[in-house]
Amino acid sequence: MATKLTPDQMQSYWGKTSKLMWTILALWFFFSFVVHFFAPSLNGIRILGFPLGFYMAAQGSLIAFLAMCFYNAKAQNAIDEEFGVSDE
């Protein structure tokens, strides 16, 4: 059962949630576009026989997306618990 938040608490809750959302969005943009934009110039560096640009585009971005999903869930749960609106 969720507790009733005051307007100040709701504003603070939304502020923290919004900051987390924009941070995740910025990281997503970086790993979706910026890394891929520089992939051709990174191909001169090789890791385990694969060009770094290929590795970052094909594997690194996917690993980063997975890590961001777990971080977002954990951080949002912490915010929810701080304000007493968690599901558990």
The residues pairing with 46 across neighbouring beta strands, listed in sequence order, are 51
Residue 71, pLDDT score: 98
Among 62, 61, 68, smallest CA distance to 31 is for: 61
Count structural domains, the chain.
1
Q: Is residue 43 part of a domain?
A: yes
Q: Which domain holds residue 37?
A: 32-81
Q: What is the pLDDT of residue 80?
A: 93
Confidence band, pLDDT 50/70/90 cuts, at residue 1:
very low
- Using one digit for the tens of pLDDT, what is the confidence trace for 55-70? 877 788 899 999 999 9
Question: Would residue 76 count as lying in a domain?
Answer: yes
Residue 2: band (very low, low, confident or very high) from pLDDT cuts 50, 70, 90: low
User: What mean pLDDT do residues 33-55 have?
Assistant: 84
User: For residue 88, is it within any domain?
Assistant: no
Output 2-11 pairs: Cβ under 8 A, ≥24 positions apart: 2/84, 2/85, 3/83, 3/84, 3/85, 5/83, 5/84, 5/85, 9/83
Domain presence at residue 44 = yes
Instruction: State the Cα–Cα distance between residues 16 and 25, nearest whole angstrom.
Output: 14
